[in-house]
Structure 1
Amino acid sequence: MEFGTGARDEAFRAEARAWLAERLPAGAGRREWERELGAAGWIGLGWSEDGYGNRTASLTQQVAWAEEYARADAPARSGHIGEKLLAPTLIAHGTPEQKARFLPPVARGEELWCQGYSEPGAGSDLAGVRTAAVREGDTYRVTGQKIWTSLAHEADWCFVLARTRPGSVRHHGLSFLLVPMDQPGRVEVRPIRQLTGTSEFNEVFFDGAEARAEHLVGAEGDGWRVAMSLLGFERGVSTLAQQIGFARELGTVIRTAVATGAADDPVVRDRLVDQWAQLRAMRWNALRTLGSSEAEAPGAPSVAKLLWGRWHQRLGELAMEVRGAGAAVGPADWSPKEPYRIDDLQHLFLFGRADTVYGGSDEIQRTIIAERVLGLPKEPRG
C-alpha cells in the first residue's frame, strides 16, 4: 500500500499553512472562527458532494489540512460534529431536501450540532436507548434524557436516536431525528463539571420537544442502521491530526522529564521511548487503514480507538510521574478568584481518565472486534 503525496498535495498543504498563519484568530470566539473557516471553504473537505460552499479535496489533501491545522495549534473546533458526523450521514441517507436545508449552514459555520446518543442507562450499550418520540401529524414529540452530550450548550441542533415504536427492544424500533435545540421549556441543557474544571459535556432533557417529520433521516424504525453508519464516519482523517496533538504532548512530557531529572532514570527513559514508538506505530496504522479497503472494515475504528485510548491515558500518568510532587500543586499564580486551575499536563492526566470510556469503551471495542471481525459467539445480553 502506498500513501504518498504529489505536487498538488504539497501545494494544497502550503496554501493551508499560509492561510492559517495569516488568519488564526487572536481571541476570536468559537462561532466567529467557524464562520471564518466556512467563508474560506475549509469546512466539508471530505464530503463526497460539493456545491454547498465548501471546497473538495482528495484524501491526501484532507490529511494535509488536518495536519497543518493541528501543527498551527489552531482552536478546538465547535463545528466538527456537524461537519464530520452529521454531514456524511445526510449525504449517505438524507433526502435532497434535507441536504439542501442542513449542509450549507454547516459548510458556512453558521449552525452547530451535538449528538444525542448516550443516556444514563445506554452509554456504550447504545441499543438500550429509552428516549421516546411519538408522531403527532407532521411532528414528533421527543421525551427523554441524553448525557455526555459534547458541546450541547453551544449547539443549534441535535441529531437524536429515539425509540419510535412503543414496546420495541434493543436496536429495533429506533429512529434518527433532527431536533432544534432552541425550544425553551422543552429542551434543557445542564453542563457537567468535570475533574478538569471545564464543562464540555452536558446533560440534555427533552420534554415533548418538537422534531418535524420531514427531519426524520431514513425510514421510521431504521435509526439503528443510520446511527451505526454515522459512527463509521467518526474516526478517519482526524485521527492523524489527533496524533500531532499527541506528539506535542509527548514532547512536553519529555522536556519536563529532562528538566526534573526524571529522564536520568533508565526505566523512565525506556517508557518515554516506548510511548514514542507506539505513537509512530499508530500513525502508520492510520495511514495503512486510510489508504486501503480496510477503512471499511468493521473492526478498523475499534482497533484505532483501543490503540490511542490507553496510550494517551498512560501518557498522562507518565506526565505526573516525571513532574514528581509538583504534579499535585496548582499554578504559582493561583488566585482566590479562580480557586480551581490546572496546567496542561494536569489536564492531560485528569481528562485522560476518560480516554478508555468515551467514544465507546475499551470493553465495547473489544466486543466489536471479537464478534464482527473474529466471528466469536456473541456475549449474552439481558
Structure 2
Amino acid sequence: MDFKFSDQAIEFRNEVQEFLADKLTADLKKASRLTAGTYTDIPACRRWHGILAEKGWIAPGWPVEYGGTGWDDLQRYIFGVECFKAGAPLLFNMGIRHIGPVMMAHGTEAQKDYYLPRIISGEDIWCQGYSEPSAGSDLAALRLRAVRDQDDYVLNGTKLWTTGAHFAEQIFCLVRTSDEGKKQAGITFLVMPMDTPGMTVKPIMSLNGQHECNQVFFEDVRVPVANRVGEENDGWRVAKVLMQFARSNNINMAWVREALERVKEAARIEPDGQQGCLIDDQDFAYKLSATEVRLVGVESLELRLLSEMNRNENPGFKSSLLKSRSSELIQEVSELMLEAVGWYGFPFQMETLDPLSQAEFVGPEYALPVMSLYLNQRSTTIASGSSEIQRDVLAKRVLGL
C-alpha cells in the first residue's frame, strides 16, 4: 500500500488548487463557513454546482461518456480534499453520488438520455425516499405500496427523514411491490418528479432548528412503469450496491481534519480561565491529542480503501468500518469545538446562519455555526446505516458470528 503521490498526482493537485483559488468567491466561502448541517445554503450550492459543471468537474466519479471527468480514485480523493481545504460549499449531491451511478448501471437508454444530462447541468436536484416510520435501519421492512395498474404503479404510503424533499425536483424511492418470499425480494426501485399529483411534503424541523428533513406522503400517486429502474422486485439489489459505495465515501476525512484544525484555532484564542489559552490546558490538550490519534487511524483506513479501489476492488466490509468510525469521529470533533467556544455556543441566532443576512452574531464568527453543527451531527451515526447496523455487518462478515 503506497500513499506517496506521483509527480502526475502532484501536478493534478496544483491544477485543482489554482482552479479553486480562481473560482471560489468570498461569498461562496462565507456560505461554506456558515454551513450548519449536511449541506451548504442551497442557492450557494446551485452556484457552485454550475461553476463545476462549466469546468466539467461536477461528476468526478462518472465516466466521460456520461459527462463525468473520467478521473481515477486518487484524483477524486485529491479533488475532495482540496475542496474541503479551500472552503468550497458542501453540495447536496444525491444526483451525482447516488441515482446517477444507479442509472448508468441499471437504467434504460431512455432513462440515461433524459436524467443524466439534467443531473450534470444541475437542472434536477434529487432526494432519496428510503426510510419510513417502521423501516429505518431495517430498511427491508418498508411498506410504501406500489400496485401495478396497466402501465402505471399506484403508490400509497409515506417516506420519512427525506432530506431535501422541500426543494428537490426528483425523488428515487424503494417501494413494496410484493409480499411473497423474503421481504427484500418484494422491493422495486422507482423514480418520479416531486410535483407528481398526490404527493405531499411536510417539514420535520431538526434538533438544531433547521429544515433539512421531511415526511413525504403518497396518496394514489401514479408513476409510469417506464420510471422503474431495474426489474420489478429487484430493487433491493440495486439499493444494496448503492449504499455500500455511498458508505465508503459518506464522510471525507479531509472534512474532519479541517474541523479539527478549526478546533485548534479556536483553542489558541479562547481563554482557559487561568490567564492562558485553552490550547495550553492539560486536560483539553489530552482530549485534542487523543482525537487526532484516532483521526490519523481513520485517515489511514480511508487511504487503504482508496488504494484497493484503485485496483478495482470492492470496498466490502471496510466501507462499514469506515462509515462507523468516521461518523463517530465527526461527533467527537464537534463536541471538542463546542467545548472550545464555551458560552458562545449558547446563543440561538438562526438568522445569522443565512449568508445574505445582515444580522450580527454575539460572538466570534468561528463560533457561529458550532452549536447547530453539534446538534445536526448527532444524526451521523444513524444516517446511511446506523453504527449498530455497521457493527452487525462487521460481526457477520469479518467474525462470522
Distance change >3 Å, CA 319–CA 29, structure 1 → 2? closer
Distance change >3 Å, CA 21–CA 209, structure 1 → 2? farther
- 2:246 is equivalent to residue 221 of structure 1: no
* Per-residue deviation, 1:41: 1.1
Q: Find the residue that maps to 2:247 and give its secondary structure.
A: coil
CA distance in 2, matches of 1:263, 1:37: 38
8 Å Cα contact 2:248/2:320 also seen in 1: no
1:346 maps to what in 2?
371
* Structure 1 residues without counterparts, runs of 5 or longer: 377-382
Amino acid aligned to 2:80 = A
CA distance in 2, matches of 1:212, 1:319: 49
* Per-residue deviation, 1:56: 1.4
CA distance in 2, matches of 1:29, 1:319: 25
TM-score by length of 1: 0.88
Distance change >3 Å, CA 291–CA 351, structure 1 → 2? same
User: CA offsets, 1:66-108, max 9 Å, x none?
Assistant: 1121112111212x10111111222222222222222121122
CA distance in 1, matches of 2:10, 2:166: 38
1:138 maps to what in 2?
151
Identity of aligned residues (%): 35
- 2:46 is equivalent to residue 46 of structure 1: no
* Per-residue deviation, 1:364: 0.8
8 Å Cα contact 1:189/1:205 also seen in 2: yes
2:286 maps to what in 1?
270
User: CA offsets, 1:192-233, max 9 Å, x none?
Assistant: 111222111111112222322122111100111111011022
CA distance in 2, matches of 1:83, 1:330: 34
Indicate the larger mover: 131-140 or 31-40. Answer: 31-40
CA distance in 2, matches of 1:23, 1:229: 35
Indicate the larger mover: 341-350 or 279-288. Answer: 341-350
8 Å Cα contact 2:188/2:228 also seen in 1: yes
**Size of the alignment, in residue pairs?**
370
CA distance in 2, matches of 1:339, 1:119: 39
Counterpart selection for 2:165 from 152, 167, 180: 152
Amino acid aligned to 1:215 = N
Q: Find the residue that maps to 1:206 and give its secondary structure.
A: strand
TM-score by length of 2: 0.84
8 Å Cα contact 1:35/1:110 also seen in 2: no
Counterpart selection for 2:202 from 190, 199, 211: 190
User: CA offsets, 1:243-280, max 9 Å, x none?
Assistant: 22222221222233332223343222111001111111
2:9 maps to what in 1?
9
Distance change >3 Å, CA 330–CA 103, structure 1 → 2? closer
CA distance in 2, matches of 1:207, 1:57: 43
* Structure 2 residues without counterparts, runs of 5 or longer: 29-42, 273-277, 353-357
2:38 maps to what in 1?
none
Amino acid aligned to 2:191 = L
8 Å Cα contact 2:345/2:368 also seen in 1: no
Q: Find the residue that maps to 1:75 and give its secondary structure.
A: coil
2:271 maps to what in 1?
260
Instruction: Write the mapping of 1:326-337 to structure 2, written as runs, cut at 5 A.
Output: 326-330=344-348
Distance change >3 Å, CA 30–CA 323, structure 1 → 2? closer
1:288 maps to what in 2?
304
Instruction: Write the mapping of 1:221-260 to structure 2, written as runs, cut at 5 A.
Output: 221-237=233-249, 239=251, 242-258=252-268, 259-260=270-271
1:211 maps to what in 2?
223
8 Å Cα contact 1:256/1:323 also seen in 2: yes
* Per-residue deviation, 1:344: 2.1
CA distance in 2, matches of 1:207, 1:346: 38
* Per-residue deviation, 1:116: 0.6
8 Å Cα contact 1:45/1:54 also seen in 2: yes
1:171 maps to what in 2?
184
Distance change >3 Å, CA 237–CA 356, structure 1 → 2? closer
Counterpart selection for 1:31 from 27, 35, 46: 46
2:113 maps to what in 1?
100
8 Å Cα contact 1:191/1:202 also seen in 2: yes
* Per-residue deviation, 1:118: 0.6
